[in-house]
Homo-oligomer: A and B are copies of this chain.
Amino acid sequence: MEFTKIAVDVFGGDRAPDVVLQGCELALEELPEIELHLCGKAEVVDPFASTHPRCVAHHASEVIEMGEHPASAVRQKKDSSIVVGCRLVKENTCGGFFSAGSTGACLAAATLVIGRVKGVKRPALGIILPSYNSPTLFLDVGANAEVKSSNLLQFGQMGGAYAKAIMGIDQPKVGLLNIGEEDTKGTPLIQEAHLLMSKNLPSFVGNCEPAQLTKGDFDVVVTDGYTGNIALKTIEGSASMIFKYLKDALLSNTKSKIGAALVKPELAKLKDKLNPDVFGGSPLIGVAGVCVIGHGSSNAEAVKNGIKVTAQTIQADLPKVLAKAVSVSSIHHEG
In the complex the two chains form, is A233's CB within 8 Å of B261's CB? no
A179 and B211 in contact, given A250-B266, A266-B249 (Cβ under 8 angstroms): no
A146 and B234 in contact, given A240-B214, A250-B266, A262-B258 (Cβ under 8 angstroms): no
Considering only residues 208-255 of chain A, those with a C-beta below 8 Å from chain B are 209-215, 226-227, 229-231, 233-242, 244-246, 249-250, 252-253, 255
In the complex the two chains form, is A263's CB within 8 Å of B266's CB? no
Minimum CB distance partner of A249 in chain B = B266
Please tell me how many copies of the chain the complex holds: 2
In the complex the two chains form, is B267's CB within 8 Å of A262's CB? no
Task: Check if A16 is an interface residue, CB within 8 A of chain B.
Answer: no
Task: Check if A335 is an interface residue, CB within 8 A of chain B.
Answer: no
Chain A interface helix/strand/loop/mixed: helix
Chain B residues with CB under 8 A of A146: 187-188
Question: Within the complex, which residue of B234, B235, B274 is in contact with A245, where a contact is CB–CB below 8 Å?
Answer: B274
Chain B residues with CB under 8 A of A237: 209-215
Question: Within the complex, which residue of B132, B145, B250 is in contact with A241, where a contact is CB–CB below 8 Å?
Answer: B132
Task: Check if A186 is an interface residue, CB within 8 A of chain B.
Answer: yes
Minimum CB distance partner of A245 in chain B = B270
In the complex the two chains form, is A238's CB within 8 Å of B214's CB? yes
Determine how close the nearest CB of chain B comes to the CB of A70; give it in whole angstroms: 10
CA distance A210 to B212 in the complex (A): 19
Considering only residues 90-122 of chain A, those with a C-beta below 8 Å from chain B are none
In the complex the two chains form, is B242's CB within 8 Å of A274's CB? yes
28 A–B contacts, CB within 8 A, in A order:
A69-B184, A145-B187, A179-B233, A187-B226, A209-B233, A210-B230, A210-B233, A210-B234, A210-B237, A211-B234, A211-B236, A211-B240, A214-B234, A214-B240, A230-B234, A231-B231, A231-B234, A234-B238, A239-B242, A242-B242, A242-B274, A245-B273, A246-B267, A246-B270, A255-B262, A259-B261, A259-B262, A262-B262
Ranked nearest first, the 5 interchain pairs of A and B with the lowest CB-CB distance are A259-B262, A211-B237, A210-B233, A238-B238, A259-B263
